[in-house]
Amino acid sequence: MLDIGAIIYARFICATILHLTLIEELHSALNNMKYVLNHQYIFEQPKVAFMVTFLHFVCTFMTETTNIFVILTSLYPLDIVLNFIAIAIIADFDNYVYASMRNENCKKLVEYKIAEKVLIIHHTTSKRCGVDELSDVKDENGDYRKLKITFSDRTCAQKFSYSVYKGCRLFYVSFYFYFYPFTAVIFSIIIPLYYQAGHNNIPVTIEYEL
């Protein structure tokens, strides 16, 4: 017999731990996406820069989604924990590689001390900012750039990229941040019910004990 209560608890705990581990990664990807969209003139290839940040968001989200799928296929708490540990190691593999680097120029370029001096926020989309306010950055003509960037100021490509960012932001705020780990519990209940409803003529040999 399988203890369904222990299985659900193990799935939820493992899903929550990885969620708390990756949530900062996803938030960082969103902030980088917004920075690229509001500071297009800083980047030589702004489309490539936005694509990199967007892929960072997608890869982080898919890592957590894969973790949920993997632990849903496990029927024993020990297997759930072992599969979770394997996914967690893969999720942090890039951090392990970064930490192992010594005296690398590329590593120094992405360190926080340099990033906070280079990636300075000069523009915003905040509603609290006035349309006529100016930033401290000048354009090619020597005039100060606008502090607030409105949707109408963007090009067609930038409007599309901004819509993608807002969609990711909406998903992050409305569902992912609070509710995503609970999908492991929801599917733990839905999948057996769906299986039994679609295979009524096949005897189910697995018994669950509450």
The pLDDT, as a whole number, for residue 47 is: 92
Radius of gyration of the chain (CA): 23
Average pLDDT along the chain = 82
- The β-bridge partners of 144 are 138
Kindly state the helix (H) or strand (E) to which residue 136 belongs, with its residue range.
strand 134-138
- Global pTM value: 0.79
The pLDDT tens digits along the chain (210 residues) read 557 778 888 888 888 988 998 899 899 999 999 999 988 888 889 899 999 999 999 999 998 898 888 888 888 888 888 888 888 888 777 777 777 777 777 777 677 677 777 777 888 888 888 878 888 877 787 888 888 888 888 889 889 999 999 999 999 999 999 999 888 888 877 876 776 666 555 454 444 444
Beta bridge partners of 2: 208
Give the chain's end-to-end CA distance (angstroms, integer): 10
Tokens in use for 146? 């606008």
Model pLDDT for residues 162-171, shown as the tens digit of each residue: 999 999 999 9
The pLDDT of residue 125 is 84
